[in-house]
Every structure is written in structure tokens, then in C-alpha cells.
Amino acid sequence: MAQVTALSPLGTPGVPYAFAAKVAAAVYVARGAILLWETSHWAGQTMYFEATMLAAVGSVLARLRDTTADSVVANSTLETAAAAATRLRSSGLTLVDGHEYRPEYGKAAGDSGTGYAGRWIGI
């Protein structure tokens, strides 16, 4: 996904070559139901985001969006380059009581794949 671009002109005497990686930004789409988080229903459990995906080209991503706050849930982003369907799980999440959440899937330009399922689970 990264492209390398030279920042210094080639052949300039005494000027070291500087390089910076340009990473294509991923584009996400919302898929799946919007779920309301109610802390009282999950007392004593740690919450995780789980997604099953496969990458045909490059890599694919999934994340959990807090639609109430219009922000991505910290530590929820998952990524795979596996060509076979792979289930991934985030680290423990902090969700806000009364907020609504929805899975999103993404890829960078030129990448392709499939997202089969995205959900939160309590353990």
C-alpha cells in the first residue's frame, strides 16, 4: 500500500536523499445493523469487536464506529491480507452507555476483498 517518493532532487551534490512513505487512505463503508450499547446488559464483561474478512488483493479493514459521537472506537480497527476467510478480534473496547455503534469495512485504492460479519462480543 505504500509508495515511496523522493523529496530531494536526484543528483544534487551534498544533499542526502530524503524519502517519505505515502500511504493511500482507506475508504470505509458502513455495513450491518446499528446497535444500541446498554451497559446494564453486559455487566462484568469485556467487550471486543470481531470481524470475518478475506483479502483478494492487498488488505482489507474493519472497525467499529460510534455513530452517536461520529468517531471510530479506539482499538477497534482490524486488518488482514489473508486470502482465506479469517476471523479477527480487537483488544478490549470502552463503549459509552446510550451510544449507537455500527461496523464499517474499508480498503485502500487498488485493494479488494470481502467482509462477511462484524459484531461486538462480550467475554
- Which residue range(s) make up the domain with 64? 26-122
The CATH code of the domain that includes 31 is: 2.60.120
Strands 71-72 and 60-66: antiparallel
Amino acid at site 28? Y
- Does residue 62 belong to any structural domain of this protein? yes
- Does residue 13 belong to any structural domain of this protein? no
- Does residue 61 belong to any structural domain of this protein? yes
- Does residue 15 belong to any structural domain of this protein? no
- Does residue 6 belong to any structural domain of this protein? no
Helices and strands, number each (H, E), in the chain: 0, 11
How many distinct structural domains can be found in the chain?
1
Provide the grid cell at 112: 479488494
Mean pLDDT computed over 12-32 = 60
Mean pLDDT computed over 15-35 = 66
- Does residue 10 belong to any structural domain of this protein? no
For 113, how many CA atoms within 13 A lie in the half-sphere containing its CB? 32
Q: What is the pLDDT of residues 58-116, one digit of tens each?
A: 999 999 999 999 999 999 999 999 999 999 999 999 999 999 999 999 998 889 998 88
Residue 10 in this model has a pLDDT that exceeds 80: no
